[in-house]
Amino acid sequence: MPRRGFATIILLLFMFLPACRQQVQLPSQILLRVDGRTVSLEQFQHGFEQILPGDRTLSKDEEHALRRSYLAQRIDHELLLAEAENLKLRVSPKEMRQAMDSHRQHYPPGDFDRMLKEHGLTAETWNRLLLEELLVEKALHHMVRMQVSVAEEEISTYFAAHRQSFTRPEMVKARQITVMTEAEGRQILEKLRQGMNFREAARRHSISPDAEQDGDLGTFARGEMPEAFDQAVFELPVGRISELIQSEFGYHIFLVEEHLPALQPTLQAAREDIIATLRQEKEEKRYQDWVQALRQEASIEIDWTLL
């Protein structure tokens, strides 16, 4: 189930704002009615244009599919707002202030108001949409999240069925320097043994793409890298520089920064991850069932001839 956040608020400003009932209705044909809430063709088109990709031209079929998807989102948005009203949910002034502060903190001083102005929005308009989204969040919490629980038996059953996915193989975190010739490799290896910084050497001398990350290979298990790499690093103590290793890519010098032994997690160690997974699955199903029921019970009228 999607959880609305800051980026979603930005998107919804353009997608759903024209349908706000408080806004003055533009003279246009009515495209959509959802339990008394109306969306005109002009309002729909204004919102739809905001989600069109600006970097490419859509085919007629692609645009048609995107238009229908956007229409479904508009319907669901109106349904959730209507449900929040039916549940008599309210947003307190304190909750509004906290939400506004949360969004503003993403901007340096003055940039938030500048962003609104660039998009032709007033603070009142932004607050109105934010209020709607907070109401929708309350409805989701009341009708979805509060209705979902995970039993201990479900946790243990899931762990037994997915035990392998919680197993971590032996892994190492390592860096490398790769050069073309043995002579160059031995020169660099000697400098490293004399105290030259490995990361600096990787940036200056390595021909591998990871040189830009100071030779960082990340963390990997056996079999994820070429066999020559595995043979070198998995037997190398942490902090030790390898001998010069030849492979089909050239000559390598490795530095092991961390060695992670294989891990067989217990049910207790995996418990929170399992709960999160099961809750997400249940919430998604609950959400889909709930919205589907709202669609079936609502009065939804669409003038398809306008699309």
The residue extents of the domains of the chain are: 6-148+281-306, 168-260
Top pLDDT among 41 and 154 is at 154
Which whole number is the average pLDDT over 62-69? 90
Mean pLDDT, all residues of the chain: 87
Does pLDDT of 25 surpass 70? no
**pLDDT score for 124:** 87
CA dist., res. 264 & res. 164, Å (int):
9
End-to-end CA distance of the chain: 28
Is 51 within 8 Å of 67 (Cβ atoms)? no
**Tokens standing for 158?**
């899931």
Question: Which stretch of DSSP H or E encloses residue 293?
Answer: helix 267-297
Is 270 within 8 Å of 162 (Cβ atoms)? no
**pLDDT score for 11:** 47
**pLDDT score for 117:** 83
Does pLDDT of 254 surpass 60? yes
Domain spanning 6-148+281-306: CATH 1.10.4030.10: yes
Residues with Cβ within 8 Å of residue 234, at least 6 apart in sequence: 170, 172, 222
**pLDDT score for 12:** 53
**pLDDT score for 216:** 96
Query: Over the stretch 133-185, which tens digit does the pLDDT of each residue have?
Result: 899 999 999 999 999 999 999 999 999 999 988 888 999 999 999 999 999 99
**pLDDT score for 186:** 96
Whether the full predicted model's pTM is greater than 0.75, yes or no, is: no
**pLDDT score for 164:** 87
Does pLDDT of 106 surpass 90? no
**pLDDT score for 40:** 87
pLDDT band at 7 (very low <50, low <70, confident <90, very high): very low
CATH number for 168-260: choose from 1.20.120.1750, 3.40.50.2000, 3.40.190.10, 3.10.50.40.
3.10.50.40
pLDDT band at 15 (very low <50, low <70, confident <90, very high): low
Top pLDDT among 3 and 293 is at 293
CA dist., res. 80 & res. 4, Å (int):
13
Q: Give the rounded percent of residues in the chain with a pLDDT score beyond 90.
A: 62
CA dist., res. 256 & res. 234, Å (int):
9
Per DSSP bridges, beta strands 171-179 and 300-302 are: unpaired
**pLDDT score for 278:** 97
